[in-house]
Structure 1
Amino acid sequence: MTRDSAVSPVVGVMLLLVLVIIFTAVLAAYAGGLAQTSTPSPSVDIVAYSSGSGGDFSIIFEHRGSDALPIADCKITTFIDSHESSFPASVVSESSSWRTGEIVSTKNLTNTASLLKISESQFVQYIKRSTPLELRLYHLPTNSILFKDTILLEEP
Structure 2
Amino acid sequence: MNCSFRENESGVSPVIGVMLMLVVTIIIAAVVSAFAGGLTDSSTDVPVAAFEFKVYKQFISASYNPGASDRVVAIMKSGEAIDTQHLKIVSYYKDDDGNIISHEFTESQIGAQFFAKGSVGTDTYFGKPGTYWHTGDKFFGLPSTLFGVTPDRGDTIEINVVHKPTNTVIWSAEVTVI
> Which shifted more, 50-59 or 93-102?
50-59
Unaligned runs of 5+ in 1: none
* Displacement of 1:100: 0.8
Structure 2 unaligned segments of length 5 or more: list them: 1-6, 61-66, 95-99, 116-123, 126-130
Report the equivalent of 1:104: 139
Return the match for 2:31 from 24, 33, 42.
24
Does the aligned pair in 2 maintain the 1:76–1:89 contact within 8 Å? no
Q: TM-score when scaled to structure 2? A: 0.67
Higher Cα radius of gyration: 2
Equivalent residue for 1:152?
A: 176
Deviation (angstroms), 1:55: 4.7
Q: Write the deviation string for residues 105-156 of structure 1: whole angstroms up to 9, x where unpaired.
A: 11xxxx42244323xxxx3xx424x1111111101122211111111112xx
Query: Which residue identity lines up with residue 24 of structure 2 in the other structure?
Result: L
Shift of 1:19: 2.6
CA contact (8 A) 1:74 1:139 kept: yes
Q: Which amino acid aligns with 1:6?
A: V
Q: Which amino acid aligns with 1:116?
A: F
> Once superposed, which parts of structure 1, at least 4 consecutive aligned residues long, lie more than 3 Å away?
1-4, 8-13, 36-40
Equivalent position of 2:3 in the other structure:
none
Structure 2 equivalent of residue 78 of structure 1: 91
Among candidates 49, 58, 78, match of residue 44 of structure 1 = 49
Identity over aligned pairs, percent = 16
Give the total of aligned pairs.
Answer: 141
- 1:124-143 alignment, distance < 5 Å: 126-128=151-153, 130-143=154-167
TM-score w.r.t. length of structure 1: 0.75
Q: CA RMSD in A?
A: 2.5
Evaluate the alpha carbon distance shift between residue 67 and residue 116 of structure 1 in structure 2; reply closer, same or farther with a 3 A threshold. Answer: same
Q: Which is helix-richer, 1 or 2?
A: 1
d(CA) in 2 for partners of 1:18, 1:72? 48
Q: 1:113 aligns with which of 135, 140, 144?
A: 144
